[in-house]
Amino acid sequence: MNIEERLVKGDKRACARLISMLENKEEEALTILKRLYKHTGNAYVIGITGPPGSGKSTLTDRLTKELRKMDKKVGIIAVDPTSPFTGGALLGDRIRMKDLATDKGVFIRSMGTRGALGGMSKAAWGAIKVLDIYGADYIFVETVGVGQSEVDIVKIADTVLMVLVPNLGDDIQAIKAGIMEIADVFAINKADLEGADRTQLEIEMNLDLDTKKDYRPPVVKVSASRNENIDGLFNSLMEHRRYQEETGQLIERRKRNIKFELVKLVEEELMDLIMNRVLEEDLLDNLSEEIVLKSLDPYSARDKILKLIR
């Protein structure tokens, strides 16, 4: 059997191989995904994001176990946009998942391609499709951080779970501002710590401001490490799925997500083309030299390059 047939049959190694090909930007991987695209659509994708140290991995671990009780096949993609590590269990948090890694119904993959010019979301989104074709019922996409690239990655999920912890200090303002409208469910992890109630209150107050929506994201207190209220969080996620399916919003959301992905795919491809063909090192070096010497400014240099491209 070739890799395509093996993937459709649910072969884990075919899955791993194809994701590696995506990371390495092998055109062949896209050709395969083009052919197999019609096999996608079964998986429900849950994006998990939150600041470093909020315990996203342990939480993913726990939620996966809930799904395994229901005999659901689960795929986990842990994306770290700043990590140079690819293809495996190098990250500390992956090691914790050892018991899941040996579970036949679970596929786990860490992805990181530091330096890839915006190529991270492309690879992660490709990996979601691979896991969908492979036969996962649920796919968790986990990203470290709260920046724009992390938001981009989880933006195409069917449900976005934001994990926060008490005592984030003033930065909670910034985090809230950035993710209030992309989160469908909030989890306050490490809820046994002092300050959990205040964090919950802050989020609820922000949600109060948005009275337009008929769906209000729940704010669920959990403790992943103590295994407390995981079922409560799980139910909130399933509730959001049900809500979207019953109102027809899921299909609308998927259309929006696809549009977003398409724009990003075009963007990334164009940047690749320009970087590799137009912006030659010599040209850049000469212009930078002039700028340092103040005989040119960066904006006029930019204009010069743009003229060349046209």
**Helical residues (DSSP H) of 24-113, grouped into ranges:** 27-36, 56-69, 92-95, 98-101
Decide: is 242 part of the binding site for a second copy (CB under 8 A).
no
Decide: is 206 part of the binding site for a second copy (CB under 8 A).
no
User: Pattern of binders to a second copy over 21-40, x per CB under 8 A?
Assistant: ---------x--xx--xx-x
Q: Which is nearer to a second copy, 143 or 236 (CB)?
A: 143
Decide: is 132 part of the binding site for a second copy (CB under 8 A).
no
Decide: is 112 part of the binding site for a second copy (CB under 8 A).
yes
Instruction: Give the residue carrying structure tokens 């998990």.
Output: 48
Decide: is 88 part of the binding site for a second copy (CB under 8 A).
no
DSSP secondary structure letter of residue 43: P
Decide: is 47 part of the binding site for a second copy (CB under 8 A).
no
Residues 72, 74: Cα–Cα separation, whole Å: 6
Q: Which stretch binds a second copy (CB under 8 A): 1-9, 61-69, 112-120, 241-249?
A: 112-120
> In angstroms, what is the minimal distance from the CB of 155 to a second copy?
12
Size of the site for a second copy (CB under 8 A): 81
Instruction: Please pick, from the candidates 91, 195, 235, 238, the single residue that binds a second copy as defined by CB under 8 A.
Output: 91
Q: Which is nearer to a second copy, 101 or 262 (CB)?
A: 262
Burial letters for 270-304: b for 16+ Cβ neighbours within 10 Å, e otherwise? eebeeeeeeeeeeeeeebeeeeeeeebeeeebeee
The distance in angstroms from the start CA to the end CA of the chain is 48
Q: Which is nearer to a second copy, 13 or 270 (CB)?
A: 270
Cα–Cα distances (Å) from 59 to 163, 212, 230, 258, 266, in that order, read 9, 30, 8, 27, 34
Decide: is 289 part of the binding site for a second copy (CB under 8 A).
yes
> In angstroms, what is the minimal distance from the CB of 248 to a second copy?
13
Cα–Cα distances (Å) from 6 to 2, 75, 125, 130, in that order, read 6, 17, 20, 12
Residues 119, 272: Cα–Cα separation, whole Å: 9
Q: Which is nearer to a second copy, 93 or 184 (CB)?
A: 93
By CB under 8 A, what part of segment 144-163 binds a second copy?
144-151
CB atoms within 10 A of CB 243: 15
